[in-house]
Structure 1
Amino acid sequence: MDAASVAFLRDVLSTTGWVERTRHLGLSLRATRTPGGLLVVGTPDEEPWHLTAHLSDEARLSGLVQLAPTLVRWSPPPGAPRHLAVGMERVETAGRGETVFVVAERKAPVPLLERVDDARRTGATIIALDGGDPELEYLAHDALAVPPKDDLFTFDAAQHLVSAAAGDTSRSRTKLLERLARLAERITGPRVTD
């Protein structure tokens, strides 16, 4: 989905609350402190390749290196390229400053929940995009559940909106400039213009 399609989707969903919720989750992904510390993991049956690719693009285009994702796979094949050879043991070693982003449209299996729980206990931030899995959402610091019966807002649409929001620096720059202007005004007094 290109930027124009994402903008169109945001317009269509503007009155539903989904845009704000996906923006919030996208911004939560920025809590990761280091490149490679954003671990994106799915279920054994559904690896989140597509979302990982979008996050990689967003990291490159926005300059937010902490968004550069690491795709974690359940069974990487022997001899896989390095970026496709990261196994579930990486979730087990996740710690402070790292984020485990679980993308699971269907119920997360128990082995995934156990690894996520272990990562949480060692200080990793847990974020979930799911289809309404209460056990996964209980473990997550932040989660967005996408109902399976919504014809307009699909799980695929949510992935596109979350990744686009994660890389959207326009809002954070505007807020930073507004804060700096308020600070400058407190220090120097209000600006007078002719």
Structure 2
Amino acid sequence: MDAASVAFLREVLSTTRWVERTRELGASLRSTRTPGGLLLVGTPRVEPWHLAAHLDDEARMSGLAQLAPTLVRWSPPPDAAPHLAVGIDRIEAARRGETLFVVAEDKAPVPLLERVDDARRTGATILALDGGDPELEGLAHDALAVPFQDGLFTFDAAQHLVSMAAGEGQRSSGRLIDRLARLAERITGPRVSD
């Protein structure tokens, strides 16, 4: 889903509570203090690769380096590149000022819940995007539950809306057209007026 599609989805959902909730979760993601301090983890079955890529894009476009996530993987292969080799034990090292963002459409397994609880006890901020998991939501400081439905607001759509909201911030330059103009300028150089 490209930025224009996400903007269109926002317009379609503007009369619902979903747009505001994704903006609130995006604001919570922006509160991560340092680059590398946003830990993104899924379940052993589904790693949030797609969301990691979108957050990385938002970090670049918004200038908010703390949005570039550290993808935490359950079983990274031994020959994985360093940025793809961060194992689940990284959650045990989470501390105050870091954010653990759990993305789990299915129920979070007990080993994940135990690690999330440990990270919360050491001071990490816990955020969750889930399919309606009361145990995970009970551990999270902020959670957005996306129940299974056939409508426009799907789990995939929620990930797109949250990642875009994370890059926007409170400034007026967060408008889609302004962000696209800044991106175009980075690629082609500044516009010269006649």
Please give the TM-score of this superposition, normalised by the length of structure 1.
0.87
CA deviation map 1:91-129 (0-9, x unaligned): 110000000000000000000000000000000000000
Structure 1 segment 4-15 matched on structure 2, within 5 A: 4-15=4-15
> Which residue of structure 2 lines up, in the alignment, with residue 183 of structure 1?
none
> Which residue of structure 1 lines up, in the alignment, with residue 135 of structure 2?
135
Q: Does 1:173 align with 2:158?
A: no
CA distance in 1 between partners of 2:171 and 2:20 (Å) = 18
CA distance in 2 between partners of 1:29 and 1:3 (Å) = 19
Q: Partner amino acid for 2:79?
A: G
CA distance in 2 between partners of 1:3 and 1:149 (Å) = 23
Structure 1 segment 152-191 matched on structure 2, within 5 A: 152-169=152-169, 172-174=170-172
Q: Partner amino acid for 1:39?
A: L
Q: Does 1:82 align with 2:82?
A: yes
CA distance in 2 between partners of 1:174 and 1:135 (Å) = 37
SS in 1 for 2:26: helix
Q: Does 1:125 align with 2:132?
A: no
> Which residue of structure 2 lines up, in the alignment, with residue 41 of structure 1?
41
CA distance in 1 between partners of 2:106 and 2:113 (Å) = 13
CA deviation map 1:144-192 (0-9, x unaligned): 00010242210000000000000013xx1249xxxxxxxxxxxxxxxxx
Structure 1 segment 52-91 matched on structure 2, within 5 A: 52-91=52-91
| Structure of greater Rg | 1
SS in 1 for 2:53: helix
Q: Which runs of 5+ in 2 are unaligned?
A: 174-194
Q: Does 1:25 align with 2:21?
A: no
> Which residue of structure 1 lines up, in the alignment, with residue 2 of structure 2?
2
Deviation at 1:2, TM superposition (A): 1.2
CA deviation map 1:117-143 (0-9, x unaligned): 000000000000000000000000000
Q: Partner amino acid for 2:32?
A: T
CA distance in 2 between partners of 1:119 and 1:92 (Å) = 6
Q: Partner amino acid for 1:12?
A: V
SS in 1 for 2:171: helix
Deviation at 1:16, TM superposition (A): 1.1
> Which residue of structure 2 lines up, in the alignment, with residue 114 of structure 1?
114
SS in 2 for 1:22: helix
CA distance in 1 between partners of 2:46 and 2:3 (Å) = 25
Please give the TM-score of this superposition, normalised by the length of structure 2.
0.87
Q: Which runs of 5+ in 1 are unaligned?
A: 176-194
User: Using a 3 Å threshold, how does the CA distance of structure 1 residues 16 and 150 change in structure 2: closer, same or farther?
Assistant: farther
SS in 1 for 2:9: helix
